[in-house]
Structures are given as C-alpha cells and as structure tokens.
Amino acid sequence: MSKYTSLRGFKDILPDEIGRWRWAESIAHETFATFGFSQIRTPILETTELFTRSIGEATDIVEKEMYTFKDWDGKNVTLRPEGTAPVVRAYLEHHLGAQTPLWKLYYTGPMFRHERPQAGRLRQFHQIGAEVIGDIDPRQDVELLSLLTRFFERTQVTDLTLEINSLGCPVCRPDYRAALQAYFEKYLPELCDDCQRRFKTNPLRILDCKKEGCKAIAKNAPSPIDHLCAECREHFKAVREGLDQLAIPYEVQPHLVRGLDYYTKTAFEMTTRKLGAQNAVAAGGRYDGLIEALGGPPTPAIGFAVGMERLVQLIDPALVPASRLQLFLAPLGKAAGAALFPILLALRRKNIRSEMGSENVGLKSQMKRADRLGAEHVLIVGENEIAQGKAILRNMATKAQEEIPLSTLAETLSEKLS
C-alpha cells in the first residue's frame, strides 16, 4: 500500500459501485425532467459569507463543520456544505427571476462538511437536490413531495417514511421560540453543554440533540405546530390534504427540526430504518425568507436534497443493468495480435463494447481479464487459427464455440453483436 491514503471521511467510489451511482443519477435526470425541472451546475467554492448568512451563524454546519480557508488573495472562501444557498446565489446573480417567475432547478454533486465520520456520514458526500423558486402555493409543496416519492419509487427503495412538520414563519416563530425557552429553562442544568449554549442561540436545535438525556427532556417540549399563525396553519393543512388526495403516505413529526436555519413552514425528511443512526435519506423544506435575506426581492421557495451515499446503499444491485463488455479478443502470439488489432478498432467504430488482451500473456490470464470485464463473448486466435484462416468465438454464458473465417471476421462479428 502507498503511504498516501484518502482523508478521513473522504471516499473513493470504485468501479464496482459506480453502476448503482449512475443508475440512480439517470433515474434522477429522467424523473426531474418529467416534473419540469432544469439542471443547474454551480461552483464547489463560494464566498464564506454566502453560507454563514443563509445556513445561520448558530448552526453546527457554520460553527464547526465548514471547510473554510483564505484564498491566495485573502478572501474567505468555503467548500459548499450544501446546494441551496449556491442555487439562490446563482438565481439572483443571473436575474433568473426577471426571465420567468417560477424556476424549478436541480443539481447533483459533492458537498463538504467536517462532521465526525461514521457509517452513512462523510466529510465529502454527494447530493441530488431540487429547488422550486417563486411559488408560495401549498400545491407546490405537494408537487415537490410527489417528485421525491416518485424518485424513490423508481429506484425501488422501499420502507421509507416521509416525516413532515411545519416550522412556522417570522410571524409565529418568536412565539414558539419563547415557549420552547420557557420549557427548557426548567431543565437547563440537565441539558448537555451544547444544548445549554443552544438554549440561548438556537433553542430549536435542542430538539435534534442525539444525547439520551436531552432527548428525554425534549420529548415533552412544545411543538411549532401548536404555535403556528393562521397563515402557516392553513398552509400546513393544505399540504396535508394535498398529500392525502394523492395517497402519498406521511407522518406528522411535531418535533422535526432542521440543521439549517433558513426553513419556514413545511419541513420534511425521508427516513429509513435500514441505515442505523444516519436515517435521513433525503430532507428539505420551504425557505420563503432566504432569497430576500440574500439581497433579492421577497420570493418564496422550497426544495430538498437526497443523500447519494445513503441512497446507493439502499439500492438493490440486482436492479442495475450491468454495462458488460460484448467481446474480448484474445490473441495468442504476435501474428494474432497484429491480425486482431484492426478488427478491434473496426468493432469499436460500430460501437461494439470490445477490448483486447495482450498477445504476450497466456490464454488463462486473458480469460481472467475477460471475466472481470463481464465479456459476453471471447474470440480466440492462436497460431493454429492463423494458419487455418479462422477464429474461435466462445459464448461465455453457454460455453458454445463456433468458428468464423478470418477473412470476414469484422463483418461477421459486427453483424452478430450489434
């Protein structure tokens, strides 16, 4: 092994896994297109302030997880920990709102958070995310959740639970925050150090603490649902009715909160029991105040992101069509190599997935490589075959062999295989 290894929490995705990634991505491209979304690609590096302003100063991500450094010109820059703020930045920078009032955008790519690595939690991870910018109607929430549900349906990942909640808005949030503080104040000395700090800076985050002591106290804390203003209450009701109409199953989880501060009204997570502690495969919600907070006009929005690593773990590998080699050419000796090389190139021009072994190694090791590549057929040409003007084509599944004249090899193979 080399003395160099990948960094903790940074993972190689090896050829054996890549089929599931590409399959999930292709389903995402198709499903998002079906729902009227366009793809957007934003840079991985952004100004630090974009994230501190949008995710919130008193969040774990901003307080201790961002990969932030000074660029050579002294500017504070950050490897994006999430995709929503960059999409909003691009939306504002390119005046997309002036072109048309509603944008449905999606993205895929790596995100970076300096979290404690564990199963399902990495420091570089990948998301497929969707953002709908410009619509306040609860039907948009329902439509987005139907997209999320449809996406998982197509990947055939089952046993998922859609948990939803409403986090209120700037009108009702202060009331809820006060109620929450009044509740936790009684238990302040029993809360963990982090939560004692959160009590002042961000009491909603206490509801998400994983420590047993804090969890037990938080169990009976008030829910934002009981403090919603009339508008938020109506919105939440309409979302639930819309989901009911579409027969999309969900559970109201009155203590669901999110690790990012920009959320308003609807918040949700898609969870599974198959992944242990890191049980959210996707999460999102409304962020009606973010665009204005970043300097734009008041513009409602909603979105979600799917965690790719977690999704890929849940995908049944048997569903993924293998990208197999159609033909492996196995030359034995110099003359055979010289005869087969032009054939290999001709077959590739016909888009036949083909590869050739080295004429300098024996048949056994060439067959091993053909197997590794999943070759459907192997063509064997040795000195005898050259002398007799023929090649042997072996079907790797049935083991049946046939002889093909060398003079018409390229034509016969491309006819047989295309």
State which residue, 52 or 354, has the beta carbon closest to ligand HAM: 52
- 302-321 residues near ligand HAM, rule: CB under 6 A: 303-305, 307, 309-310
In sequence order, the 6+-apart residues with CB closer than 8 A to the CB of 350 are: 414, 418
CA distance 323 to 326: 9
* Least Å from the CB of residue 211 to ligand HAM: 19
Which of 274, 244, 24 is CA-nearest to residue 153?
24
Site map for ligand HAM, 118-157, x if CB under 6 A?
A: ---xx--x-x-x-x--------------------------
Q: Smallest distance, Å, CB 244 to ligand HAM?
A: 23
CA 412 to chain centre: 43
Smallest gap from residue 129 Cβ to ligand HAM (A):
5
Residue 82 as a binder of ligand HAM (CB under 6 A): the answer is: yes
Q: Which of 169, 178, 149 minimizes the C-alpha distance to 161?
A: 149
In this structure, is the dihedral angle defined by the CA atoms of residues 192, 194, 195 and 197, taken in order, positive or negative? positive
Q: C-beta of 93: minimal distance to ligand HAM in Å?
A: 18
19-27, 140-148, 150-158, 283-291 -> range binding ligand HAM (CB under 6 A): 283-291
Kindly identify the residues of this chain, within the stretch 42-71, that bind ligand HAM according to CB under 6 A: none
Q: Pick one of 56, 284, 300, 331: the residue that binds ligand HAM (CB under 6 A).
A: 284
Q: Hey, how many other C-beta atoms are within 10 angstroms of the C-beta on 355?
A: 16
- Report the nearest approach of ligand HAM to the CB of residue 290 (Å): 9
CB 330, CB 355: distance < 8 Å:
no
Phi and psi of 353, rounded to 5°? -70, 105
Smaller CB separation from ligand HAM, 289 or 303: 303
Which residue minimizes CB distance to ligand HAM? 307
Stretch that binds ligand HAM, among 16-24, 78-86, 145-153, 401-409 (CB under 6 A): 78-86
Q: How far is CA 35 from CA 105, 131, 164, 319, in A?
A: 10, 12, 21, 23
- Nearest distance in Å: CB 83, ligand HAM: 6
CB of residue 370 vs ligand HAM: minimum separation in angstroms?
Answer: 36
Binding flag, residue 37, ligand HAM (CB under 6 A): no
Give yes or no for residue 83 binding ligand HAM (CB under 6 A): yes
Query: Contacting ligand HAM (CB under 6 A), which of 53, 104, 113, 198?
Result: 113
Nearer to ligand HAM, 260 or 367 (CB): 260
108, β-bridge pairs: 128
Q: Which amino acid is at 381?
A: V
Residue 399 to residue 227: CA distance in whole angstroms: 71
86 touching ligand HAM, by CB under 6 A: no
259 belongs to the binding site for ligand HAM (CB under 6 A): yes
Q: Point out which residues bind ligand HAM (CB under 6 A).
A: 82-84, 113, 115, 121-122, 125, 127, 129, 131, 259-260, 280-285, 287, 303-305, 307, 309-310
